[in-house]
Amino acid sequence: MEFTLLSEDDRPIYEDARARLGAGDFSQSWEWGDLKSLTLWHPIRLADREGGEVRLVATLLLRRLPLPLLRWSLLYCPRGPICDPGDHSALSAFVAEVAAIGRRRGAIMRKLEPDLEESAAASEVLRAQGLRPARRRGEFEGFSPRHVAILQLSDRLDDTFARMRPKGRYNVRLADRHGVTVREGTAEDLPAFYELLARTAKRQRFVIREFQYVRAVYRAVAERGGGRLLLAHREGPLWARALIARAPRRCSYVIGASADEQRQHMAAHLVQWHAIAWAHSVGARVYDFLCIGNPERPGCLQGLWAFKRQFGATAFSHAGEWDLPLLLPAYLLWAVFELPLSLARGLLGKQLRRLRAGRRPVLAENPG
């Protein structure tokens, strides 16, 4: 076994392994690593070869921790590595290699978020690698949503539609009868896209990133990653939209929004159905609706789960975040202060966004 750090010239090796292994979330795509470099994360790509064949690839993200006077970092692997989930020797070698990289790069811990279903067996495998469960943060219980809604796609689109719940099929047909149409969006649609997102965020009381970041997400997901921006209109105005990411055999619903007005026309249902149909057309086997909150304690996210299961989706809980301490005293200190620091940064960021919103329009520039 031999691990190699990959450069931009090695990108074909990475992409070939992702396609051959037939797994991997969009957050393990090359484009997503480039996107995260805009938010103070540094992407590191790895490949593991055995006998000349690549049997594991992964994107790691390195970031300085927000601690004054201390040059400590976090090394994070979202939904990775990409390998045969039953290849425990590859996982063990990967954990050891990443620990070595982390120590060289000044990381006090390495955070793994494997693309595995939560189970006693998965926990046993991860604990055997020296990993420990991390704190479950926020409604989504992690950096990435721990609980998601997964739709297994049939061989035929008609069969996928038939497996939807009756209410879901009715709402899709209703939107069509009411004259809702869905089209593919382009970069020129991003201002309207963002305006609808801002209205949705205000109504549902969640925080969104600035327009420039959402534009960068669109470029990474749609322009370079092969995904799609889908927009639902009725008599001109935009009523719903969805940004869909593409990975080998899986498409994921990354960002969505819908207007509060004219919800009786079910535009959000039709745009999701078009996204599912597009996933079928590109050979995906899974459509990932992403976050639903904990199905056992849905709380304020109950509406997300109720909407997504109308399409026949089932709940899927990932194994969650697992930490490998590399500098134990520093890791323990971080474990104590992480929550108050996160809350303080969140409040400061919220106030800064309010100040910026009061000084200039939300869309301050042409997305061009």
Kindly report, residue by residue over 30-66, the tens digit of the pLDDT: 999 999 999 889 999 999 988 778 999 999 999 988 7
Q: 157-161, 235-239, 244-248: which range is least confident on average? A: 235-239
Overall average pLDDT of the 179-193 stretch: 95
Amino acid at site 255: I
Beta carbons within 8 Å of 155's beta carbon, 6+ residues apart: none
Confidence of residue 367 (pLDDT cuts 50, 70, 90): very low
When the pLDDT of each residue in the chain is averaged and rounded to a whole number, the result is 88
**In the prediction, which pLDDT does 361 show?**
37
**In the prediction, which pLDDT does 350 show?**
65
Alpha carbon 367 to its chain's center: 23
**In the prediction, which pLDDT does 360 show?**
38
Of 259, 314, 329, 357, the residue nearest 117 (C-alpha): 314
Highest mean pLDDT among 131-135, 205-209, 227-231: 227-231
Tens digits of residue pLDDT in 96-128: 999 999 999 999 999 999 989 999 999 999 999
- Give the pTM: 0.88
Is residue 92's pLDDT more than 60? yes
Is residue 21's pLDDT more than 50? yes
Residue intervals in the chain for CATH 3.40.630.30: 2-136+319-359, 154-284
- Buried b / exposed e along 219-233 (16+ C-beta atoms within 10 A): bbbbeebbbbbbbbb
Domain spanning 2-136+319-359: CATH superfamily? Gcn5-related N-acetyltransferase (GNAT) (3.40.630.30)
**In the prediction, which pLDDT does 295 show?**
79
Q: Would you identify the CATH topology of the domain 154-284?
A: Aminopeptidase (3.40.630)
